[in-house]
């Protein structure tokens, strides 16, 4: 890579970083990003999701098991990591993602996924996140706009060497 190419790439990275600090994003803006699902929206700012092979592996295995059971028994819908939830009454512009989630049959209109972000609290959320989240997310769905609380939200597993 030439020195000029390195400088251009650095300038581009810096401008994206600066724009994320100075711009206030909306949930609608988040839907238009080319790397949708890689960021969450907190206080109008993009926050990069900490994802990696361990969380992907854990979520995939859980999705396979839960997805098969849910489909076999016609229990509802299972969603993967790119399903955004806009369900926080105290901050209606906040959008969070989990590694996997489930919504019981009969809770969504016509039992179909909605357009855009889901505004209905899921019944089960699975999220392997070894890093602390935003301080207000200790009990993530308290005050959810739908009044329904998920049965689970965080799956944390310490990885052994």
In the predicted structure, residue 138 carries a pLDDT above the cut 70:
no
What pLDDT is stored for residue 111 in this prediction? Answer: 94
What pLDDT is stored for residue 57 in this prediction? Answer: 84
User: If pLDDT is split at 50, 70 and 90, which confidence band does 76 have?
Assistant: very high
SS3 per-residue string spanning 1-58: CCHHHHHHHHHHHHHHHHHHHHCCCCHHHHHHCCCCCCEEEECCEEEECCCCHHHHHH
Name the residue with higher pLDDT: 61 or 68: 68
In the predicted structure, residue 11 carries a pLDDT above the cut 80:
no
| Across 139-143, average pLDDT | 41
What pLDDT is stored for residue 65 in this prediction? Answer: 92
In the predicted structure, residue 137 carries a pLDDT above the cut 50:
no
Among 120, 77, 73, 119, CA closest to 101: 77
Name the residue with higher pLDDT: 128 or 101: 101
Given a contact cutoff of 8 angstroms between Cβ atoms, the answer to whether 9 and 30 are in contact is no
3-137 maps to CATH 1.10.132.10 = no
């Amino acid at each position: 890579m030439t020195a000029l190419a390195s400088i251009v790439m650095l300038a581009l990275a810096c401008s994206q970083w600066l724009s994320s600090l100075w711009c206030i994003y909306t949930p609608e803006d988040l839907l238009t990003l080319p790397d949708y699902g890689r960021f969450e929206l907190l206080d109008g700012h993009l926050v990069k999701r900490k994802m990696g092979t361990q969380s992907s592996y854990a979520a995939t295995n859980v999705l396979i098991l839960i997805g098969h059971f849910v489909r076999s028994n016609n229990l509802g819908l299972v969603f993967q990591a790119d399903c955004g939830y806009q369900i926080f009454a105290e901050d209606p512009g906040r959008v969070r993602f989990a590694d996997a989630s489930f919504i019981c049959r009969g809770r969504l209109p016509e039992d179909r996924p909605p357009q855009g972000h889901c505004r209905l609290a899921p019944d089960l959320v699975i999220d392997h996140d070894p890093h602390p989240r935003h301080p207000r997310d200790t009990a993530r769905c308290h005050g959810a706009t739908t009044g329904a609380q998920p049965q689970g939200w965080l799956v944390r597993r310490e990885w052994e060497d």
